[in-house]
Amino acid sequence: MIDNLIDGQRVASTSDKSQPIFNPATGEIIDQLGLSTQAEVAAAVESAAQAFPAWAATPPLKRAAVMFRFNELLIKHADDIAREISREHGKTHDDALGEVQRGREVVEFVCGIPQMLKGEYSRNVGPQIDSFSDRQALGVCVGITPFNFPAMVPLWMYPVAIACGNTFVLKPSERDPSSVMMIAELLYEAGLPSGVLNVVHGDKVAVDALLDHPKVQAVSFVGSTPIAEYVFNRGSQAGKRVQALGGAKNHMVIMPDADLDQAVDALMGAGFGSAGERCMAISVAVPVGEETAERLVNALRPRVEALKVGPADHPDSEMGPVITAAAKEKISGLIDSGVDAGAELVVDGRNMSLQGYENGYFLGGSLFDKVTTDMDIYTQEIFGPVLAVVRAPDYDTAVKMINDHEYGNGTAIFTRDGDAARSFADSIQVGMVGINVPIPVPVAYHSFGGWKRSLFGGHSIYGPEGVNFYTRLKTVTSRWPTGIKEGAVFDFPT
């Protein structure tokens, strides 16, 4: 049974509710997870609340020193963490290593937190009156994270919050929690005081308990749009600061002048890496012009057919299984709906079976052509290894298609034309844009976040936006007695 982590110690849940953890490659149950009670969630919040005053008063340089040591431990144990991710999630080992790396980069970023928390100072804003401002910690913060990046997404949250002086309660996905526990214990090994980071496992009961708890000041969430909207509304109504990152339907526009080999390579990695279970996966290819579309589909077909699907520990695997049997069934159902709606299924990945892994949750890559914008395979986030080609007669139609979609997480354009690239970057209504870059996830010292129904709350995650989210601005105006006697002033101060 996987324990909670409260006040720096592993604590077994006393809940009578639990759920199994599966190995997606085999379908076997490999562990059990207790689903925490409201009382256990409250204990984690209380631990964080008790730890907050001392941690907030700890000099930023000392908080940064813990992050420096944490970063070194993440480097040392990266292979072990990646193996845990692969075992419970199914993604290939190299893909899992990349996840750890991108999460660790945020830890490197917050090693510079003393610089980022420096305030501003103005002398003599009035007669012998000085003014200064700084950013101060909020208190207890909460993170609710998804299955698809069990290590990276939590590392986008709590290192920033903790470096800023907050304490934290993490509620990770129930699907793949072991890497989360391993990383949290490394942070304590790095010197984190007890109670500053707590981990509670659970389902909606735990989520609601965190959203409603009066001592929680801020909530970060990454997941599907319906749940992001729910978290944002419930947390906001409870008076909390909320950033909730939701779903995506990421398009890649391929212009007639694009380097087609480069574009196909990009679509293969961005569409089928991690079995498409990425919020920044490219799931829609938009070739501009019929000739471009024909060349693209003809080039993609053999590549998708040759995709090497297998277990995470096989050295030749390019794509592993999806996370659960239910996910496999949902993805297969959406492929069925695309066929029924009249899209052309160029490559069908529904009937894949691997010898020795017949009970695993494997799908091959699927490629659709001649998809239209009213089909479910276009409107819905499939979150699986399915790439849809939607043909656009011209550039303006491609742009309008993307801007009309309810999601605005990520997008890309492949072109040699600087005018087209600049116009696309300026006019597209999407939060993260790639130009000849298929997955434009910002580096750690920028910030990650979409537009429209891909982000609720206005604050992007990590980077400068993350620091602003986990702190609040305080401005002090001061004057010390100088012997000046002005008497009472009733006009507005100037």
Which among 336, 309, 62 is positioned nearest to 190, based on CA atoms? Answer: 62
Look up residue 237 and give its two tokens: 């109504």
Where b means 16+ CB within 10 Å and e means fewer, 37-46 reads bbebbbbbbb
Look up residue 278 and give its two tokens: 């990425």
Instruction: Answer whether residue 481 shows pLDDT above 80.
Output: no
Query: What do you get for the CA distance between the two ends of the chain, in Å?
Result: 64
Question: Rounded to an integer, what distance in angstroms lies between the CA atom of residue 281 and that of residue 272?
Answer: 8
The answer to whether 211 and 116 have CB atoms below 8 angstroms apart is no
Tell me what pLDDT residue 204 has: 96
Q: Name every residue whose Cβ is closer than 8 Å to that of residue 71 and which is 6 or more positions away in sequence.
A: 104, 107, 108, 111
Instruction: Answer whether residue 56 shows pLDDT above 90.
Output: yes
Instruction: Answer whether residue 491 shows pLDDT above 80.
Output: no
Question: Rounded to an integer, what distance in angstroms lies between the CA atom of residue 275 and that of residue 278?
Answer: 8
Where b means 16+ CB within 10 Å and e means fewer, 457-470 reads bebbbbbebbbbbb
Domain positions in the chain: 4-246+454-477, 250-435
* Mean pLDDT, all residues of the chain: 96
The answer to whether 266 and 412 have CB atoms below 8 angstroms apart is yes
**Annotation marks residue 279 as catalytic:** yes
Residue-wise pLDDT tens digits, 204-259:
999 999 999 999 999 999 999 999 999 999 999 999 999 999 999 999 999 999 99
Instruction: Answer whether residue 102 shows pLDDT above 70.
Output: yes
Output the CA torsion sign for 359, 345, 306, 287. negative
Tell me what pLDDT residue 261 has: 97
Where does the pLDDT of residue 455 fall: very low under 50, low under 70, confident under 90, or very high at 90 and above? very high
Residue-wise pLDDT tens digits, 65-85:
999 999 999 999 999 999 999
Which among 338, 360, 336, 337 is positioned nearest to 350, based on CA atoms? Answer: 336
The answer to whether 452 and 429 have CB atoms below 8 angstroms apart is yes
Instruction: Answer whether residue 483 shows pLDDT above 90.
Output: no
Residue-wise pLDDT tens digits, 391-430:
999 999 999 999 999 999 999 999 999 999 999 999 999 9
DSSP state of 36: -
Question: Rounded to an integer, what distance in angstroms lies between the CA atom of residue 381 and that of residue 95?
Answer: 21
Instruction: Count how many residues are written for the chain.
Output: 494
Residue-wise pLDDT tens digits, 334-346:
999 999 999 999 9
Question: Rounded to an integer, what distance in angstroms lies between the CA atom of residue 257 and that of residue 440?
Answer: 21
Is CATH 2.102.10.10 the right assignment for the domain spanning 4-246+454-477? no
Question: Rounded to an integer, what distance in angstroms lies between the CA atom of residue 160 and that of residue 155?
Answer: 8
Instruction: Answer whether residue 432 shows pLDDT above 90.
Output: yes
Average pLDDT, integer, range 275-294: 97
Average pLDDT, integer, range 32-57: 97
The one catalytic residue among 111, 141, 164, 279: 279
Residue-wise pLDDT tens digits, 456-475:
998 999 999 999 999 999 99
Instruction: Answer whether residue 187 shows pLDDT above 90.
Output: yes
Give the percent of the chain with pLDDT over 90: 94
DSSP state of 381: -
The answer to whether 170 and 198 have CB atoms below 8 angstroms apart is yes
- Taking each continuous run of H as one helix and of E as one strand, the counts in the chain are 16, 22
The owner of tokens 């562990």 is: 31
One-letter identity of residue 275: A
When mean pLDDT is compared across 12-26, 193-207, 288-302, 474-488, the lowest value belongs to 474-488
DSSP state string for 278-344: -TT-EEEEEEBSHHHHHHHHHHHHHHHHT--B--TTSTT-SB---S-HHHHHHHHHHHHHHHHHT-E
The answer to whether 333 and 390 have CB atoms below 8 angstroms apart is no
Tell me what pLDDT residue 485 has: 67
The answer to whether domain 4-246+454-477 and domain 250-435 are alike in fold is no
CATH of region 250-435: 3.40.309.10
Instruction: Answer whether residue 136 shows pLDDT above 90.
Output: yes
Tell me what pLDDT residue 144 has: 98
Q: Name every residue whose Cβ is closer than 8 Å to that of residue 420 and which is 6 or more positions away in sequence.
A: 255, 395, 413
